[in-house]
Homo-oligomer: A and B are copies of this chain.
């Protein structure tokens, strides 16, 4: 039941509609969790029913109306309880790792292509996170912002995201090199 807490944590930044939330959780900026829009709408409905978030209708012209949600006191209490409870250890769970694990026995061409693509995607995320970090800290240096800023949670998780994607990119490129070199050595026989 971590999605619900991820949603609560995301809503701490201010009121968001389900649609906006979905954007934030989508491919782009999912720096601390990932979910499909449908999951988020469902979760918001449940959270509202339990009184952990509250929504207000915003009437728009020239665009469908939307409901903006914010975390209630009960919601903050729920987050508090969640934070106090012990966290389960995190694991990498990545199709690509499974494929690389089997690299000795399967065709490496497709794998090399996927690794290369993943490195590209990782670089794009690094750039995106870089922009995001800059926007969050404004004119301040990182040190200064982390000491005195008033909302550092998203900044810290974004830092984790950058580090993850950097490792991701570097490992993919390194693995591509290794696989390519072995392919060449093999071809010569």
* A134 vs B16: C-alpha distance when bound (angstroms): 50
Q: Judging by beta carbons under 8 Å apart, are A91 and B156 in contact? A: no
Find residues 88-116 in chain A having any chain B CB closer than 8 Å to their own CB.
Answer: 88-107, 110-111, 114
Which of B31, B79, B101, B182 has a CB less than 8 Å from the CB of A154? B101
Find residues 139-189 in chain A having any chain B CB closer than 8 Å to their own CB.
Answer: 146-148, 150-154, 156-157, 159-161, 163-164, 167-168, 170-171, 174-175, 178, 181-182, 185
* A178 vs B27: C-alpha distance when bound (angstroms): 28
Q: Closest chain B residue to A181 by CB distance?
A: B147
| A121 interface contact, C-beta 8 A | yes
Q: Closest chain B residue to A164 by CB distance?
A: B92
| A118 interface contact, C-beta 8 A | yes
Q: Judging by beta carbons under 8 Å apart, are B175 and A156 in contact? A: yes
Copies of this protein chain in the complex: 2
Q: Closest chain B residue to A121 by CB distance?
A: B89
* A5 vs B171: C-alpha distance when bound (angstroms): 21
Q: Judging by beta carbons under 8 Å apart, are B104 and A153 in contact? A: yes
| A59 interface contact, C-beta 8 A | no
Also in contact, A33 and B167, with CB within 8 A (given A9-B101, A10-B101, A12-B102): no
* A12 vs B105: C-alpha distance when bound (angstroms): 8
Q: Judging by beta carbons under 8 Å apart, are A86 and B104 in contact? A: no
> How close is A36's CB to chain B, nearest CB, in angstroms?
12
> How close is A163's CB to chain B, nearest CB, in angstroms?
4
| A30 interface contact, C-beta 8 A | yes
